[in-house]
Amino acid sequence: MLTLQDQFKQDGYLVLADFNSEASCDLLMKRAQELAAGYNYEGHASIFQTNEQTRTSDDYFLASGDKISYFFEKDAFTESGELKGDLFHSLNKIGHALHDLDPIFNQFSRSPQLIKLAGDLGLNGYVLIQSMMIFKHARIGGKVDIHQDASFLYTEPTSCIGFWFALEDATIENGCLWAKPGGHKTPLRDWFKRKNGGGTEMISLHNAPFEPAEMIPLEVKKGTCIVLDGLLPHFSMPNTSGRSRQAYSIHTIDKNCRYPEENWLHCDRAALKGFV
């Protein structure tokens, strides 16, 4: 029987059911709703769209690496700039330093079972660099294009590993993750970086095509943890159902790897902390 580490090396992902209790998932969703309720978006509304990653990213996005920031769905606003619905159900995500700046998210991000999992996977020297509360609200939660996490948290050599937590059941209908077993053995295609003179750009590193036809749905129950190799291509479809698909994710990198200044996410890397 394969160890967790061997299984991860073989498939590029792990699906760990019942990793978190339903109560801990509910607490995280409740806290996210409280944070959203306290956000005043007047004068600034940043929209998150994975199909516009080559756009000139705004200052709010680029400054979010060490803050708790709020990002809207692309269809959340009318042409005149008014929200079509209530604030909470218009948000795409909250990021990117929840794991350090909010005590409830910090506790979830450094739980005893996650500390043990990191040890089982041999992630000595890994630090938490980014976290996101992803809402995927019913009928508005948008598509996330095929991508590799290492494109957005680029290190030399590649070291990014993500942890994705299902806070609600994730199904094909409400936008579960899709991935190809073994897909992480393919090269890194792109690097999302800061552009000279401002904004961001997506630099092509390899022209190997993604193979969506070979990807399978990762339908999981509430409380499941999915571990993702940074090179694993994955995506999610829009939520066309009447049920939300809330999830929380954290991304880690090896602190001993080079992290270029050109990376979009800036933070005090000397202050980055691990799971303990």
Q: Which of 253, 18, 26, 220 is nearest to 118 (CA)?
A: 253
The larger pLDDT score, comparing residue 100 to residue 72, is at: 100
With b meaning 16 or more CB within 10 Å and e meaning fewer, what string describes 160-185?
A: bbbbbbbbbbbbeebbbbbbbeebbe
Query: How far is C-alpha 2 from the chain's CA centre?
Result: 27
What's the confidence (pLDDT) of residue 53? 42
Q: Is the predicted pLDDT of residue 256 greater than 50, yes or no?
A: yes
Q: Is the predicted pLDDT of residue 55 greater than 80, yes or no?
A: no
| Residue indicated by tokens 């005149």 | 80
The larger pLDDT score, comparing residue 201 to residue 48, is at: 201
Mean predicted confidence (pLDDT) in 61-80 = 88
CA-to-CA distance for 167 and 162, rounded, in angstroms?
Answer: 16
What is the model's pTM? 0.94
What's the confidence (pLDDT) of residue 50? 47
Q: Is the predicted pLDDT of residue 31 greater than 50, yes or no?
A: yes
Count CB neighbours of 40 within 10 A: 8
Least confident interval from 43-47, 158-162, 181-185, 237-241: 43-47
- The contacts of residue 189 (CB under 8 Å, 6+ apart) are 148, 151, 204, 205, 206, 207, 208, 210
What's the confidence (pLDDT) of residue 235? 97
Q: Is the predicted pLDDT of residue 137 greater than 70, yes or no?
A: yes
Q: Is the predicted pLDDT of residue 59 greater than 50, yes or no?
A: yes
As a residue count, the chain comes to: 276
pLDDT confidence of 57, banded at 50, 70, 90?
low
Mean predicted confidence (pLDDT) in 127-148 = 95
Domain membership flag for residue 255? yes
Domain membership flag for residue 276? no
Quickly list DSSP for the chain: ---HHHHHHHHSEEEETT-S-HHHHHHHHHHHHHHHHT---TT--EE--GGGTTS---HHHHTGGGSEEEEE-TTSB-TTS-BSS-SGGGEEEEEE-HHHH-HHHHHHHT-HHHHHHHHHTT-TTEEEEEEEEE---TTTPPPEEEE-GGGTS--BS---EEEEEESS-B-TTTT-EEE-TTGGGSPP-EEEEEPTTSSEEEEE---PPP-GGG-EEE-B-TT-EEEEETT--EEE----SSS---EEEEEEEETTSB--TTBS----GGG-----
State the total domains in the chain: 1
Residue 201 belongs to what domain range? Answer: 4-271
The larger pLDDT score, comparing residue 188 to residue 49, is at: 188
Q: Which of 117, 111, 43 is nearest to 81 (CA)?
A: 43
Q: Is the predicted pLDDT of residue 173 greater than 70, yes or no?
A: yes
Q: Is the predicted pLDDT of residue 22 greater than 80, yes or no?
A: yes
The enclosing domain of 190 has a CATH number of 2.60.120.620
